[in-house]
Structure 1
Amino acid sequence: MPDTELQERIWAALDAHPVYMVSLIAEDGLRTRPMSGHLDREHHRLLFITHRHTGIIGEALRSPSVSIAISHEDRNFYAAIACTASELPSRDLLRQIWTPMASAWFPNGPDDPDATLLALTPVSAEIWEGPSSGVLVAFKLATAKILGRTPDLGVNATIDMR
Structure 2
Amino acid sequence: MSSPEHKQKIWKLIRDIKTCMLTTRHGDELRSRPMVLVQDEYDGTLWFYTDLDSEKVFELEQDHDVCVSFADPEHHVYVSLTGLGRAIRDQERIDQYWNSAIAAWFPEGKDSPNVGMLEVKVQKGEHWDSDSSKMVKSIKTTKARIEGEQPDLGEHEKFGVGE
Structure 2, unmatched stretches of 5+, are none
Aligned to 1:115: 115
Q: Secondary structure at the match of 1:83?
A: strand
2:112 partner amino acid: D
Matching of residues 73-92 of structure 1 within 5 Å: 73-92=73-92
Q: Could you say if the C-alpha distance between residues 58 and 145 of structure 1 is closer, same or farther in structure 2, counting changes exceeding 3 Å?
A: closer
TM-superposition CA deviations, 1:67-100 (whole Å, max 9, x none): 1011111122212110211233221210111121
2:21–2:35 contact (8 Å) kept in structure 1: yes
Matched, 1:93 2:93: yes
Q: How does 1:33-112 map to 2 (within 5 A)?
A: 33-39=33-39, 41=41, 43-112=43-112
When the two structures are superposed, what TM-score results if normalisation uses the length of structure 1?
A: 0.84
- Normalised to the residue count of structure 2, the TM-score between the two structures is 0.84
Shift of the 155–114 alpha-carbon distance from structure 1 to 2, 3 Å rule, reads same
Structure 1 residues 15 and 148: CA distance shift in structure 2, 3 A: same
How big is each residue's C-alpha offset from its partner over 1:98-154, in whole Å with a ceiling of 9 and x where there is no partner? Answer: 121221121121101111111111110022333431232133224334544332222
1:130 aligns with 2:122: no
Moved over 6 A (4+): none
Whole-Å Cα distance in 2 between the matches of residues 61 and 78 of structure 1? 28
Q: Which amino acid aligns with 2:12?
A: A
